[in-house]
Amino acid sequence: MAKQNRRRRTGRKPPSPTAFDVGSGDPTTIAEAIIAAAARGGAESIGPVTVTDELAAGAELAGGRLIAHAFDLGWRPTDIHHAARRRLGEFALGYLTDLMAAHRLDPLWESQLDDLAAAVWWTPPHLRAWADRALLTGDEALTTVIEALGLLARLPRLESTGPVRPRHGVDDKVLGRVRGLLAKAESTSFPDEAEALSAKAQELITKYAIDHLLLEPSSDLPATRRIWLDTPYTDAKALLIDRVAHANRCRAIFAAEWGFVTVVGDDTDLDLVELLSTSLLVQATRTMIDTADSGETRSRHYRKAFLTAYATRIGDRLTEAADATIAHATDRPDLLPALASHRQQLDRAFDTYFPTARAKGITIRSEQGWDAGTTAADHAHFGRG
């Protein structure tokens, strides 16, 4: 009864047992069988299973191999978590989180584990402790393990091969001011005030970036940052991030199948692009919902057109604000050459990371949504100060 109640609360049916024979083989043989089943997308059949020490050790071996495989393909805990959250159920997601926590592969991996609050909470063997905690029978646990590892087995190689390193961070005082402006923009119910505050944040970001570029020029190869998007309308949201990246000396590319944008740029610029993009997505979504007053304005076509138009126009406005700030830096004669050099370095890195990248348009099927999105982004007169 307890197990049935647990499944009812999660809203997810248990995996259907379909007699994957783990036999009495040693852990290595069991691990190979689990990996083979995961690669096929599941076991043909799973009958009653007892979680023995050999099975637990085999699952641990299989998980370790596939985690190492995912790491070699460029995936990190945050990426795996987002992918699993979209494609797996609660139990499989929990299993993968534990699996990642059991492996410490590099400083960024450990940092992201901390962000996910992933930790080793169990006393070995993990499979038995996890199954007991999740109230799963042995066959349900094994089915879920194969489902979770199947995701790892199917992960593609990430095209980006940029340096993966911990964030250096933006000056706390500047970051505090930018966050304050964006928090006000997100909380106000007046679109013109929100856009003016966002424009002011962009001006502050550009000033900081100019100083950073001239005082602390980087010889490092541009880094990469993956920003995961919530459904729906991920293509329109990806366009907004692309426009923010363009205004802030970065470049972006959208992996539509998996739902994330990879942004290429200096660490400092990447921090600021992520911060500004997150805020603008909140603002755009709120404005879209607040202005919905009819059946048409609640349709998918309208909302996609709205967000696409918003992204297009807000990108133009951010670029204008950034260009105006640069134009007023008349006391920095070395600025334009530094910006040109930075752009060349960025373009070379992007072409190296993504040699097959190509532009793709977004189909719009609501003129009303496009007009409303443009108006929402164009409501205020952006200016300095």
**Whether residue 97 is found in the same domain as residue 35:** yes
CB 159 within 8 A of CB 254: no
Length of the chain: 385
Rg (CA), the chain: 24
- State yes or no: pLDDT of 238 exceeds 90: yes
Please give the mean pLDDT across all residues of the chain: 82
* pLDDT tops 50 at residue 1: no
Does any domain span residue 166?
no
Provide the 10 A C-beta neighbour count for residue 163.
Answer: 12
Give the pLDDT of residue 9.
44
Name the nearest CA neighbour of 44 among 16, 21, 18. Answer: 18
Q: What is the pLDDT of residues 75-123, one digit of tens each?
A: 999 999 999 999 999 999 999 999 999 998 888 899 999 999 999 999 9
Would you say residue 154 has pLDDT above 90? yes
User: Same domain for 214 and 256?
Assistant: yes
Domain co-membership, 102 together with 216:
no
**Which of these ranges, 63-77, 127-141, 235-249, 290-304, has the smallest mean pLDDT?**
290-304
Strand spans (E) along the chain: 223-228, 251-255, 260-265
Q: Encode pLDDT of 58-77 as tens digits.
A: 999 999 999 999 999 999 99
Are 34 and 62 a contacting pair, CB within 8 Å?
Answer: yes
DSSP 118-156: ----SPSPHHHHHHHHHT--HHHHHHHHHHHHHHHHHPP
Once rounded to an integer, what is the mean pLDDT over residues 140-151? 95
Q: Residue 162 falls within a domain, yes or no?
A: no
Both 130 and 179 in one domain: the answer is no
Q: Judge whether 384 lies within some domain.
A: no
Number of domains in the chain: 2
Residue 330 pLDDT greater than 90, yes or no: no
Instruction: Look at residue 210 in the predicted model and tell me its pLDDT.
Output: 81
Parent domain of 254: 172-378
Would you place residue 160 in the very low, low, confident or very high pLDDT band (cuts 50, 70, 90)? low
| 353 and 268 within one domain | yes
Angstrom distance (rounded) from CA 351 to CA 361: 20
Q: What is the rounded CA–CA span in Å between residue 300 and residue 170? A: 37
Q: What is the percent of the chain where pLDDT is above 70? A: 80
- How confident is the model at residue 65, as a pLDDT? 97
Q: How far apart, in whole angstroms, are the C-alpha atoms of residue 20 and residue 49?
A: 9
Convert the pLDDT of each residue in 27-66 to its tens digit: 999 999 999 999 988 766 677 888 999 999 999 999 999 9
Is residue 257, in this structure, part of any structural domain at all?
yes
Angle at 370 between CA 367 and CA 373, to 5 degrees: 150
Asked if residue 121 belongs to a domain, the reply is: yes
Please give the average per-residue pLDDT across 133-139, as a whole number.
Answer: 93
User: Do residues 148 and 95 make contact, with C-beta atoms less than 8 angstroms apart?
Assistant: yes
In the listed set 154, 186, 221, which residue is the last one of a domain according to the structure? 154
Question: For strand 223-228 and strand 260-265, is the pairing parallel, antiparallel, or unpaired?
Answer: antiparallel
At 364 the pLDDT is 56
Shared domain check, 94 and 44: yes
Residue 17 falls inside a structural domain: yes
- Cα dihedral 80→86→90→96 (10° resolution): -10
Phi, psi at 264, each rounded to 5°: -110, 130
Instruction: Give residue 371's pLDDT.
Output: 58
Over residues 10-24, the pLDDT tens digits come to 445 444 434 456 655
Contacts of 122 (CB under 8 A, 6+ apart): 98, 129, 130, 133
The 10s digit of each residue's pLDDT in 346-385 is 999 898 888 877 766 565 555 655 556 566 665 533 333 3
157's CB contacts (< 8 A; 6+ apart) are 73, 74
Q: 242 and 358 share a domain?
A: yes
Exposure of 314 by Cβ count < 10 A (0-12 exposed, 13-18 middle, 19+ buried)? buried
Looking at residue 8, its pLDDT comes to 43
Average pLDDT over residues 330-347: 86
Based on the fold, state whether residues 131 and 243 are members of the same structural domain.
Answer: no
Here the tokens at position 11 are 């809203």
Are residues 150 and 233 located together in one domain of the fold?
no
The tally of CA atoms less than 13 A away on the side-chain side of residue 14 is 20
Q: Which of 125, 154, 183 is the last residue of a domain?
A: 154
DSSP β-bridge partners for residue 223: 265
Amino acid at 247: A
Mean pLDDT of 205-232: 81
Whether 95 and 212 map to the same domain: the answer is no
Q: Does residue 160 lie within any of the structural domains?
A: no
Q: Does the residue 74 lie in any domain?
A: yes
CA-CA distances (angstroms) from residue 143 to 20, 26, 42, 130, 294?
9, 19, 8, 13, 46
Q: Which pTM value belongs to this model?
A: 0.75
Helix (H) or strand (E) run with residue 228 in it: strand 223-228
Residue 109 is inside which H or E element, if any?
helix 107-115
Q: What was the pLDDT predicted at 317?
A: 87
Tell me the residue type at 62.
A
d(CA 194, CA 205): 16
Q: What is the mean pLDDT of residues 141-151?
A: 95
* 224 and 327 share one domain: yes
Identify whether residues 229 and 353 lie together within a single domain.
yes
The residue ranking higher by pLDDT, 156 or 375, is: 156
Give bridge partners of residue 264 from the DSSP assignment. 224, 251
184 vs 46: which has the higher pLDDT:
184
Q: Is the pLDDT of residue 342 over 70?
A: yes
Distance of CA 211 to the CA centre of its chain: 29
Q: Which of 159-168, 240-249, 334-343 is predicted with the least confidence, judged by mean pLDDT?
A: 159-168
